[in-house]
Chain A
Amino acid sequence: MTEKWNITLRVSRQKDTENQHFDDFKMEVNPDEYVLDAVERVWAFMDRTLCYRHACHHSTCGACGMRVNGVEKLTCITPIRAVTSNGATLKVEPLRNFPVVSDLAVDMGAFYRKMEVVSARAVLPITEAEIENPATNWPQNDAQFLRLSDCLECGLCISACPVAATSPEYLGPAPLAAAQDVGIHRNPELLGIVDCEDGVWRCHSAFECTAVCPSFVDPARRIMALRTQVIGAKLGKLFGKA
């Protein structure tokens, strides 16, 4: 027998110029379903006007980021059981720090522009990917293989970052992490892009990006590693190292 829960899905609504308000939808769910399934059923069976972003349903596309009970989640991989209980209310809101297009859907334009500015890699040699499993003892002919980068460009880190909330120009966690992944040694132009007021020094170490990242990018660690890269590059310049 499949377990059944009754929950109230409290959904943030906002059309056009109206102010944000919440609509409640009472529904029966299987607690092992994902939050996105519940949102999708609201659209399919209860309210056809609901707008939300989603595509792959298995954390590879990064489209379905929302705030679930106040915390940034990729809703397609967040089981209902993990965020609420039988009879309780589950609140879903759009990501913070992105303009709302409608309801739960947000505009990713500014964020993707920053990812382009740092020329974030979409694919990378498999030997450079940080995978724990299987052991990275690649057969020789595999070394040329490529792998999609871990960052889904979902924007959860931007939403969770307190500094991104107040500084529109701040590059933010994912773009800085991507810059670290590319590396200043590979792309010296990055130095000027990240070593500035709105770059790597703007981070105030709240570590919220890493806490919400659904895809093992660990932006906080990468931002710190980028600082080391920047210091290294500047010292190199200072002492005339090529």
Chain B
Amino acid sequence: MTKPHAIIIGAGFTGVATAHDLALRGFDVTVVERGDICNGTSGRTHGLLHSGGRYAVKDKESAIECIDENTILRKIVPQVIEPNGGLFIAIEEGDLAYAEQFIESCEECHIQLDELTPQQALKLEPNINPKVLSAFIIPDGTFDPLRLALAFAGTAKHNGAKFRTYTEVQGLLTDGKGTVTGIKVLDRASNKSQELHADVVVNATGAWAGQITGMAGLDAPVKPTPGIMVAYDQRFVQRAINRLNVPGDGDIVLPQRRMVVVGTTSFDAENPDYIPVTDEQIKIMLDRGSELIPGIRNAKPRGIYMATRPLVGGGSGRSIARTFKCYDHKETHGIDGLVTITGGKATTLRAMAEKTADVVCAKLGVTTACVTKETPLLSYRQYYTIPN
């Protein structure tokens, strides 16, 4: 029996995690990516391994996804994670008013939470704002974005998946009756075009999902929503520091290597290919970030960049839920052979892949169950060491 063949467009978090899942379920997997692995939103992720605390009050569905996946990722891919927890800190009276809701919601979502006195918080993290009024410790973490993707991709490669980077999709191939049967690609390293055929094409292009669905004549299922991040050259904290309040601009500071990274903002954009950085947004990060960690004022920026979230659903900016959606376009528009996965967060990449692989398996009548929850990932270096 020949293996079913799946083409995955996009080697960001969703693409590599789906490749891993489908490879384990016995698929022949080909991932095509127009740049190198993780060159879009995934690479530029803040790197917060969410506990769900940030979403607990407003978006319980996302919060529960986060805490579940947080626990799983710590087990299957410890090589890329700093599992050092996080603090939610109240600086102003207004923040304290949020605390009650926050505690209740975290409990509802089963997010473990410990309240600290300001003294205790300052003892754990001496560089946070000394005016801290209250603090909660939660199981946040941080991860290395590229290596997280490489670990999934490397394990997928070990299980037979093929990765074709610098390969841009030029169009979808159809059987003339509307069913997608493959893609036409341009290998940018050799400037040669080629047709690739598959039993199913998975559109895992995140904020660019609309460009692929557009090739099938469908509307974009996502809203590209960029936000800025500014890295500063001192590692002031060991934990993820969150402002205890309704999610807003510049209210998360994360340690990364010898830096801290402040993020982020949220606005709408049309073309996610290049989002320019603006001085106003940098200033917001400095102002808001130094409310959490005053030392940031005296630190030097080391890297300023925009990352574009792929948000699904109605509304705009922060009011959009952070959960993900997987569309079988046969069900939504009568176009067979094409599945789109988008939305979601880095923390939930494995769950997004599981859902997508479930949809793909159902379409092709494959009954193998998902085992990614229990499968430790191989070294991220395997992505480079296993020849393509």
Instruction: Establish whether A and B are touching in the complex (CB under 8 Å).
Output: yes
Q: A: which residues have CB within 8 A of B? A: 2, 15-16, 33-34, 37, 40-41, 44-45, 48-49, 51-63, 76-77, 101-102, 105, 107-109, 111-113, 115-116, 122-123, 126, 131, 133-134, 139, 142, 145-148, 150, 152-153, 215-216
Q: Is B63 interfacial (CB 8 A cutoff)?
A: no
Instruction: Return chain B residues, CB-CB under 8 Å to A61.
Output: 38, 43, 144-147
Q: Contacts A41-B274, A108-B384; is A131 near B302 (CB within 8 Å)?
A: no
B188 & A49 in contact (Cβ 8 Å cutoff): yes
Q: Tell me the complex Cα distance, A13–B257, Å.
A: 32
Instruction: Return chain A residues, CB-CB under 8 Å to B235.
Output: 131, 133-134
A44 & B36 in contact (Cβ 8 Å cutoff): no
Q: Is B323 interfacial (CB 8 A cutoff)?
A: no
Chain A minimum-CB-distance residue to B190: A16
B82 & A147 in contact (Cβ 8 Å cutoff): yes
Instruction: Return chain A residues, CB-CB under 8 Å to B36.
Output: 51-55, 63, 105
Contact of A60 among B145, B166, B188 (CB under 8 A): B145
At the interface, is chain A mostly helix, strand, loop or mixed? Answer: loop
Instruction: Return chain B residues, CB-CB under 8 Å to A40.
Output: 274
Chain B minimum-CB-distance residue to A49: B188
A215 & B124 in contact (Cβ 8 Å cutoff): no
B82 & A102 in contact (Cβ 8 Å cutoff): no
- The number of chain B residues with a CB under 8 A from chain A is 57
CB distance from A145 to the nearest CB of B (A): 5
At the interface, is chain B mostly helix, strand, loop or mixed? Answer: loop
Q: Is B380 interfacial (CB 8 A cutoff)?
A: yes
Chain B residues 1-60 with CB under 8 Å of chain A are 35-39, 42-44, 47
Q: Tell me the complex Cα distance, A18–B77, Å.
A: 40
CB distance from A99 to the nearest CB of B (A): 12
Instruction: Return chain A residues, CB-CB under 8 Å to B147.
Output: 61, 122
B258 & A215 in contact (Cβ 8 Å cutoff): yes
Q: Contacts A55-B43, A122-B380, A150-B257; is A44 near B144 (CB within 8 Å)?
A: no
Chain B minimum-CB-distance residue to A103: B189
Q: Tell me the complex Cα distance, A102–B42, Å.
A: 22
A105 & B274 in contact (Cβ 8 Å cutoff): no
Q: Is B248 interfacial (CB 8 A cutoff)?
A: no
Q: Contacts A58-B256, A123-B78, A123-B82; is A101 near B189 (CB within 8 Å)?
A: yes
Q: Tell me the complex Cα distance, A115–B279, Å.
A: 39
A139 & B127 in contact (Cβ 8 Å cutoff): no
Q: Tell me the complex Cα distance, A12–B303, Å.
A: 24
CB distance from B81 to the nearest CB of A (A): 7
Q: Contacts A2-B279, A60-B145; is A139 near B188 (CB within 8 Å)?
A: no
A59 & B231 in contact (Cβ 8 Å cutoff): yes
B146 & A145 in contact (Cβ 8 Å cutoff): no
CB distance from B34 to the nearest CB of A (A): 9
Q: Tell me the complex Cα distance, A139–B304, Å.
A: 32
A76 & B305 in contact (Cβ 8 Å cutoff): yes
Among A40, A56, A108, A115, the most chain B Cβ lie within 10 Å of the Cβ of A56
Contact of A55 among B44, B190, B229, B257 (CB under 8 A): B44
CB distance from B135 to the nearest CB of A (A): 14
Q: Contacts A131-B235, A145-B238; is A56 near B44 (CB within 8 Å)?
A: yes
Contact of B126 among A15, A134, A153 (CB under 8 A): A134
